[in-house]
Structure 1
Amino acid sequence: MAEEPTFEGLFRQAKRSAVHLEMRDGYMQSDSSYVSWKQDPHSIAAERDPDSRPWLRLMKEITSRGVEVRRARIFSEPMSDYLRFEHHLTPSNVGAGEQVRWLPRRKASDLALPGNDFWLFDDSLVVFLHFTGEGELSPEGDEERTTAPEVVRLCSTAFEAVWERATPHEEYRPV
């Protein structure tokens, strides 16, 4: 049996698309960049060189070969400090080729959404991400992969519904 590709490997294998739906108001709040930003928002530059950050370098690599990467965030208003931090850093993601949109939670009430954040690769593989209540990756297993057609369809439909309603990063201003 072939070994499953790493999470990074899934991006490198993507042929057409990788979409990500985020639905939490905070993630990994022990992250040193977030802690520094919270103490002094000017301590973390909004624009970072993609060649110096592995995630941005990966996004630049895969989007430059034609893979569309879209990220949609559903969030509460007023926005949490953690999401203000993410909003501050998002221009770097956009600069590396990601498309990012924001949807206030109150505008998502009538949408059917899966119970967890996910990545959907090439409309065929869903990777659910599992977090603790504090926003850290779950020690019981931080991801779950499936190609079940009904799950792929749910996630694809949910993502597209959110994407259609959401505001592009360049136009959204935090409340």
Structure 2
Amino acid sequence: MFVSTYEGAIDAKGRVSIPAPFRAALGGSSRVFVWQAPDGSGALEGGGEELMELYRETLAELPLQSPIREAIVTCIIAASAELKIDDTGRVKLPEDLCEAGELSGKIKFSGQMDSFRIWNPERFSLHQMRMRSIVTAPETLDAFASAYNRVRQRRMAAGRGGEGS
């Protein structure tokens, strides 16, 4: 699972060190996939083979000619770069992705549970401010609490316990 936020740097050759906890979340794989986040945030999004397999299974649930399926395939699958993690935990980001994310010098990695993001630090700060204004809204807290309680009830019914299990 990709959690927390880490600072990093991109060198002149476009290489970045993936934070050790994120490498651990990749399960020892030497491959990572990175693409421009489709939400317009300006971040790059990335994940491992497990995420790509989840996307493959999810896409198989959609009709073959679905415009939604085509959009996801075009903007994530076809646009992703498959990168090899070297022995020191680094990957070389393609120049077009660095340009799209306005990445040079310092960068931020943020965990997104099943995936992670790579940010220009200024964009990340703006994104955090926008998200804080959303997360503190009563309707957000109510929606999250409702979803949390449904999941907790399902887990308890399945004998997996509630909190922290």
The bucket for the TM-score relative to the shorter chain is under 0.3
What's the TM-score, normalizing by structure 2? 0.25
What's the TM-score, normalizing by structure 1? 0.24
